[in-house]
Structure 1
């Protein structure tokens, strides 16, 4: 019982047509369904969408975490209710989803637990439903949200959804400026970055095979007139490989590979030097990297 992976998210975009061209024709996602002003897109490994784009603004609309059964809904309904968070069950909420348990975090992020229709045993890089193309994206990997209260958001994830904390960035003792948390066995499913503004998302991450895929992605993006914002590189926090770029609306996308597994029972590590924590190879992010959407 419990949450076993990050599922997907819906993000807002300024121009739905331009964004569809970017995500489908350049990134290489498959168009799965369209509903009013929302287009659902998948990497091709299964029939479940990996990201949805919605007309109107930028940033995060909702993100989803995958569970297995109604028993999980019942368990988390009680957990959420105990901390004063109400939830609602929804049948057939979106393409590929049998049911959802929807709720709003104290930070006003819209979250859902979902049971999906197509749940493969594992993601295989060469054997999948539709086949990868474009940048060779394998699956939705994780999300990093923006909030004005990092510690409060992570405490909500722990108390209401049984998350564990992997790492925390403290620029001063007791001040949480960022945190990385997980419900699965991977280092982070949901990371959190503190911001004084009202942006909702720092980045959305897709899984790729490794550095060769990141190099190829950079070349394909350059051919289409898009620049890499920062990377390729390897984070010291978490240890995963990274490459970041922006979509036409300014939403940040990460390509992630080699995400390590993390022990739920061991206490989190505290970092106090951001440049050191950010890159194991001595890279430093661009000024734009501090801005969310």
Structure 2
């Protein structure tokens, strides 16, 4: 692992508690399955995939000084992530995400990211105290930013000099938090990674294809976007220039974290010099491999 970061991952780092079953589920279902606890959160999921692609991510987040937090930090460091700049709160617990997945997809999920929200701008201290940058010499590499941050903090980031030199890569934490990203919609260096539902929420409409979603977001003011639609075609585009590709067809065994894997695969591919088409193709391959249950490389 390198001692210095080549990308920052800002947002949720927590424990994922996921219940999975091979059965179809509905409200009130009580079925056998497996329950796992793994490091998760949007920023963590992105960082884990970036590590597999050979990048060195630093995490900027809030983690409690409780037993769960100590275990989470130790696991992140074991995987090769830089954790020196994580805000460790004495009075806030480590966040957690809980989801139920059936054969018919994600049934329900609850994200308890209250500690990250309460920490606010404290998680960004390393960007201004010289550890990773200052207002006069801001961090000038890629930054993956997730929508678990509060609207107020995202609004501050949109106009902050600490981010003026960065290559911002932005993703919503979930459709329920997608509209938070409107604070960054017209940021000149932001690339948005959303699914078709999230694109519709940001544009207050519904789209019937990823290409239409990409065009809608660009018309809304976005500089650059990537829009996915499950197993259907995904699109990447800027004003007047949208490319579309269809992902590989695979057997879906998991869905939580697929979008984060897609985003990380795309960032890593571009960091390694791939052109737009090749980067999109590789990201779709990584996500398809992930949902099939394999390691996305």
Which category of TM-score, normalised to the shorter sequence, fits these structures? under 0.3
The normalised TM-score by structure 2 is 0.27
Structure number with higher helix proportion: 2
Higher relative contact order (CA 8 A, sep 6+): 1
TM-score, structure 1 normalization: 0.27
Higher strand share: 1
